[in-house]
């Protein structure tokens, strides 16, 4: 009898003005928003790391505000994915891993690499990039020591234990929907993100690692629309099937308008019998 995979449901980010007074109680200090969210769900996507290198003190603060078994997925730098387009990224990767990610300790979850829509599947480019990715925290710490001078006196280059580091890829081109692409990801042990984008980008759902990483960007309107009961029922069924096959499943709601994301995350968690801290 194989083991059932772990299921975690969360949101993409947590700091949004229109969540205040809807998801977050009125009067809750902004500095306590992550703590409040972490009492109700078991994971969150950290997406500030996509826009700029964060600081070790920030990662340490976020870790301190969450339970020991909480999990942060960390979004990879857009400098690597969108500007360098995965090529010549050795220095940028060292800087990214030196920026404080390892300060999350046991709370460090997978690294999400989101590609620009303009980047098609190119096997050699992908294979070269995947070969550079550290697969353990020890390897990430070693890579981090190669940071450049910009991170002097603000680098975090150690790990408190040797843990696995998983990676997932969110392409936005239909050229990734081939067996060749899926096989390359599978061979490289990189998960292919299942991204629901209200039809804006292709929904690719081939399983390429032991982690199924789902991003729900909006049911009928990108980033805006709420997921209805039928849609949540369908996603709950899929999540159960993946977990029942022994796969770990992470689901992040990114329909942040009007606090739909955290409220939909709680509704999906309830369907799956996960604790929400709201009872």
Strand order in the sheet with 108-114: 191-192, 167-170, 108-114, 71-75, 43-46, 7-12, 248-253, 211-216, 194-196
* pLDDT over 60 (residue 87): yes
| 150-171 core/surface letters (b: 16 or more CB in 10 A; e: else) | ebeeebbbebeeeeebbbbbbb
Higher pLDDT, 198 or 190: 190
Report domain extents, the chain: 7-271
Does position 278 have pLDDT exceeding 80, yes or no?
Answer: no
* Contact in structure between 7 and 249 (CB atoms under 8 Å): yes
Express each pLDDT in 29-57 by its tens digit. 999 999 999 999 999 999 999 999 999 99
Question: In the predicted model, what is the mean pLDDT of residues 117-134?
Answer: 98
pLDDT in tens, 237-251: 999 999 999 999 999
Predicted pLDDT of residue 58: 98
pLDDT in tens, 194-237: 999 989 999 999 999 999 999 999 999 999 999 999 999 999 99
Give me the pLDDT at residue 277, please: 84
| Structure confidence at residue 1 as a pLDDT band (50, 70, 90) | low
Any idea of the CA torsion for 76, 79, 81, 85, to the nearest 10 degrees? -160
Q: Determine the CATH number of domain 7-271.
A: 3.20.20.410
How high is the pLDDT of residue 183? 98
CB 257 within 8 A of CB 18: yes
pLDDT of residue 3: 87
Is 124's pLDDT higher than 80?
Answer: yes
Q: What's the pTM? A: 0.97
Q: Mean pLDDT for the chain?
A: 96
State how far the Cα of 277 lies from the Cα of 279, in Å rounded to an integer: 6
């Amino acid at each position: 009898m194989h083991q059932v995979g772990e299921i975690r449901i969360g949101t993409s980010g947590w700091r949004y003005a229109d969540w205040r007074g809807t998801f977050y109680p009125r009067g809750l200090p902004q500095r306590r928003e992550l703590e409040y969210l972490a009492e109700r769900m078991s994971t969150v996507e950290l997406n500030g790391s996509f826009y700029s290198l964060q600081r070790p003190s920030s990662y340490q603060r976020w870790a301190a505000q969450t339970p020991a078994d909480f999990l942060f997925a960390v979004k990879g730098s857009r400098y690597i994915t969108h500007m360098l387009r995965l090529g010549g990224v050795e220095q940028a990767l060292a800087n990214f891993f030196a920026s404080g990610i390892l300060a999350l300790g046991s709370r460090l979850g997978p690294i999400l690499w989101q590609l620009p829509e303009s980047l098609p599947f190119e096997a050699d480019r992908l294979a070269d990039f995947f070969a550079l990715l550290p697969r353990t925290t020890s390897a990430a710490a070693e890579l981090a020591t190669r940071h450049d001078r910009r991170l002097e006196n603000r680098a975090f280059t150690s790990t408190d234990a040797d843990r696995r580091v998983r990676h997932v890829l969110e392409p936005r081109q239909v050229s990734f929907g081939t067996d060749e692409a899926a096989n390359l990801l599978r061979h490289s042990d990189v998960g292919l993100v299942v991204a629901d984008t209200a039809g804006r980008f292709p929904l690719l759902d081939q399983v390429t690692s032991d982690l199924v990483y789902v991003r729900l960007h909006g049911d009928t309107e990108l980033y805006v629309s709420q997921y209805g009961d039928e849609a949540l029922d369908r996603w709950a069924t899929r999540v159960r099937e993946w977990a029942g096959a022994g796969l770990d499943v992470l689901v992040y709601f990114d329909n942040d308008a009007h606090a739909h994301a955290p409220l939909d995350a709680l509704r999906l968690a309830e369907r799956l019998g996960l604790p929400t801290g709201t009872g």
